[in-house]
Amino acid sequence: MVKNYDTVFMNKPNTTAANILFYGCKDLGFSPYGDYWRQIRKLCALELLSARSVQTFQFVREEEVDAIIRKIHEAAVNGDVVDLTKMLMASRVIDEHKEKEAIDEKKDFISIILQLQKDGLDLTQGNIKAIILDMFAGGTETTSTTAEWAMSELLKKPDVLKKVEQDVRKVAKNKQKIDLNDLNEMKYLKCVIKETLRLHPPVVFLVRRGTSEAVKLGNYDIPPDTTVFINVWAIQRDPTWWENPEEFIPERFENSRVHFKGQDFQFIPFGCGRRDCPGMPFAIASLEYLVANLLFRFDWKLGDGETTETLDLIENYGLTVNKTLRVMPTIFHPST
* DSSP letters spanning 86-135: HHHHHHHHHHHHHHHHHHHT-HHHHHHHHHHHHTT----HHHHHHHHHHH
47-80 residue pLDDT tens: 667 777 777 778 778 888 898 999 999 999 999 9
Mind listing the pLDDT tens digit for each residue in 266-304?
999 998 887 788 778 888 988 999 999 999 999 999 988
E strand or H helix that includes residue 210: strand 209-210
CB 3 within 8 A of CB 217: no
What's residue 2's pLDDT? 62
The residue ranking higher by pLDDT, 138 or 305, is 305
Q: Which amino acid belongs to residue 189?
A: L
DSSP string, 14-80: --HHHHHHTTTT-STTTSPSSHHHHHHHHHIIIIISSHHHHHHTHHHHHHHHHHHHHHHHHHHHHT-
Quickly name the fold that domain 2-331 has. Cytochrome p450 (1.10.630)
Residue 316 has pLDDT above 70, yes or no: no
Rounded-to-integer distance, Cα 148 and Cα 154, Å: 10
Question: What is the Cα gyration radius of the chain?
Answer: 21
| pLDDT surpassing 50 at residue 319 | no
Asked if the model's pLDDT at residue 103 lies above 80, the reply is: no
Cα angle 271-167-259, degrees, rounded to a multiple of 5: 20
Task: Choose between 265 and 45: higher pLDDT.
Answer: 265
Q: Over the stretch 188-225, which tens digit does the pLDDT of each residue have?
A: 999 999 999 999 998 888 877 888 889 888 888 989 88
- 2 or 243, which is more confident? 243
Residue 24 pLDDT > 50, yes or no? yes
Amino acid in position 73: H
